[in-house]
Homo-oligomer: A and B are copies of this chain.
Amino acid sequence: MLTKSELLRLRSLREKKHREELGLFVVEGEKVVAELLAAKFPFVELYATEGWEQKRVPAESAPPTLAARTIATSEMERISHFPTPSPVLAVGRIVREPLAPDDLRQGLTLALDRVQDAGNVGTLLRIADWFACDRVVLSPDCADLFHQKVINASMGSFAHVRTHTAELAPLLGSVRAHIPVLGCDLDGDDVHELSRLENAVVVIGSEGRGLSPGVAAQVTRRVSIPKFGRAESLNAAIAAAIVCDNLRRISRAPAS
C-alpha cells in the first residue's frame, strides 16, 4: 500500500515545477513503458497493478533490473496522470546531459526552436531516431521533454535519442562558421538538390510562427521542400522528416 505522502509525491509530478524540484518524471502506458524497459531505460521506481508482469512480452522486455511494486487498482487510479490509468507507471530521473558547442560539429543535429506542442516534440524525437540524428537540441521554450505527452508521442524514441536543452541563438552562433546551419523556409534552396552534408544542424521552427528572429539570423542556408500544389505550409514534423530523408539519401549516394 502506498502512503499518503507517496501518493501526493507521485501525483505532484504532473506539474513541471514539481518534476524539476524532485528531478523525477513519470511514464505511463503499457506499450511505452515496455519499450523503455526494453531499451534499458534506468527507471528508479516502477508501480504495477496485479497481473501486469505476466502481460509483458518476454522478447520485448529487458531482464527485470527493477522490481515492480504491486499496488491496488484504486491506488493506481489516484497516482495516474490519465483519466484511464494504465496497469503500469514508471518513474525516471531527469538527467540533462551537458552540451558543448563543439559537439555540434560532428554528425546531424536537429534543433527545435520553440516547438510548443508536446505531441509535435515527441513526433520529432521519433523522426530523429528513425534517421539516426546524433542529437536533438530543444530551445528552453519548447514543450517540456519530460512531459508525458512528449514521451508517449515519441513511442520509445525518447530512450534512443540524445537530447539537450539550450538557448539556440548563441549555440548556433558559435558553430555557424564551421558547419552548415539549415533552416526550413518557403523560398530557400531546393532540398532535393543539396550536396552531401555529413555534419549539419537542421533547425525546425514552430508551426505558425516559424523561426524566432535571433535563431533565423544564425541560419547559414535556407532550404525549401518543393511545393507542387496549393497548401500554404507543411507541419514542422513533416518538414523535418522530409529534410532528414533527403539528407540521408544524399549522404548514401556515391560521392560526385
Chain A residues in contact with chain B, CB under 8 A?
A: 35, 123, 126-133, 155-157, 160, 192, 225-235, 237-238, 241-242, 245-246, 248-249, 252
Pick from B130, B227, B246: contact of A130, CB under 8 Å: B227
Residue of B nearest to A134 (CB): B229
How far apart are A228's CB and chain B's nearest CB, in angstroms? 4
With contacts A226-B248, A241-B241, A245-B225 taken as known, whether A231 is within 8 angstroms of B192 at the C-beta atoms is: no
**B157–A231 touching, CB < 8 Å:** yes
Q: Please, could you name 10 A-B residue pairs with CB atoms under 8 Å apart, sorted by A?
A: A127-B231, A131-B229, A133-B229, A155-B232, A155-B233, A160-B229, A225-B245, A226-B249, A242-B242, A245-B245
CA distance A232 to B159 in the complex (A): 12
Report chain B residues within 8 Å CB of A133: 229
Pick from B35, B128, B229, B248: contact of A129, CB under 8 Å: B229
How far apart are A219's CB and chain B's nearest CB, in angstroms? 21
With contacts A234-B241, A242-B241, A245-B245 taken as known, whether A228 is within 8 angstroms of B131 at the C-beta atoms is: yes
**B242–A245 touching, CB < 8 Å:** yes
Smallest CB-CB A-B distances: 9 pairs: A132-B229, A132-B228, A129-B231, A130-B231, A192-B249, A238-B241, A129-B229, A160-B230, A242-B245
**B231–A126 touching, CB < 8 Å:** yes
How far apart are A11's CB and chain B's nearest CB, in angstroms? 25
How far apart are A58's CB and chain B's nearest CB, in angstroms? 18
CA distance A201 to B49 in the complex (A): 46
How far apart are A194's CB and chain B's nearest CB, in angstroms? 12
**B241–A130 touching, CB < 8 Å:** no
CA distance A126 to B133 in the complex (A): 26
Report chain B residues within 8 Å CB of A123: 235, 238
Residue of B nearest to A119 (CB): B119
Pick from B155, B237, B238, B249: contact of A231, CB under 8 Å: B155
CA distance A185 to B155 in the complex (A): 18
Report chain B residues within 8 Å CB of A157: 230-231
**B126–A234 touching, CB < 8 Å:** yes
Report chain B residues within 8 Å CB of A232: 35, 155-156
Report chain B residues within 8 Å CB of A245: 225, 242, 245-246
Report chain B residues within 8 Å CB of A241: 234, 238, 241-242
CA distance A58 to B130 in the complex (A): 43
